[in-house]
Amino acid sequence: MEWETDWGLRARMALTMLLLGGLYVLFIGALSLYFQGVLPILLVMGLFMGAQFFFSDKLALKSMGANEVDESEYPDLYRSVRRLSQQADLPMPTVAVADSEVPNAFATGRSRKTATVCVTTGLLSALDEDELDGVLAHELAHVKNRDVAVMTIASFLSTIAFLIVRWGWLFGGRNRRGGGVVVAIVVSLLVWVLSFLLIRALSRYREFAADRGGALITGNPAALASALATIDGRMDRVPKEDLREQAEMNAFFVIPITRGFVGRLARTHPPTERRIERLQALERELAGV
């Protein structure tokens, strides 16, 4: 497989990280109103970033109730992941399965060597072999593009800002520099909102890039387009309780859960119709039409 560098993805990642870097500078200035000196700030942020970077994959799998599986348990799934990993020139990732009616899949892990590809039992029962290959290749494209690591790092600032907004009022009254605490909380709120919007914009574009990458891995854009349509249609049959429980995992899923207030507010994926249109255009491009 000839993997084409997606310069659009790289440019958007670079721009988003640049803007987030500017927010970091502003944010550290706001935190200085809480702490004396820069060193404690960097220490606290470094600890949070390290924990999020190294343990986010385990938390994602745990939140889904997913378990690692081997070839003896899911031989067809395991062989498909191995074959597609070789086609994508990637190390064999860990394979996990979540017992859920929601038909979906996601990739996690801080690097290509530590990646995990997880599918739900609902997905395995909903798709045929070609469609499943398309979804698995989409997730491997995320791994290839290092999307999981980039998005984890990018979301770190938003997480810290949210914690300060949430807990700042509780502890602010104990701080003698009450005015500084208020300023820090207001700045944290602004940083949280801006980083939230930037990260979601980046997340939506990375889905387009992963769709294209997955289609190039399999050489079959139509299969992934069919899988997306199937998954999107199956969402209507899933109990609302299951959808609500998993809505917080939207950034990881191949198809987001958009029902309810949380799903609409935190839209991390472009509309399925637009993704299918792009895959159909890629199909024509590969066919030389």
Is 2 labeled as catalytic in the residue annotation?
no
- Residue 262 neighbours by CB distance under 10 Å: 14
- Extract the runs of DSSP E, i.e. beta strands, from 26-126: 66-68, 94-98, 105-108, 116-120
Provide the residue type at 142 as one letter: H
As a whole number of Å, the end-to-end CA separation of the chain is: 21
Residue 209: Cβ-neighbour burial (10 angstroms; 0-12, 13-18, 19+): buried
Sign of CA dihedral 180, 186, 189, 193: negative
Write the DSSP assignment of 129-155 as a string of letters.
Answer: HHHHHHHHHHHHHHHHTTHHHHHHHHH
Catalytic: which of 139, 241, 245, 283?
139
**Residues with catalytic function:** 139
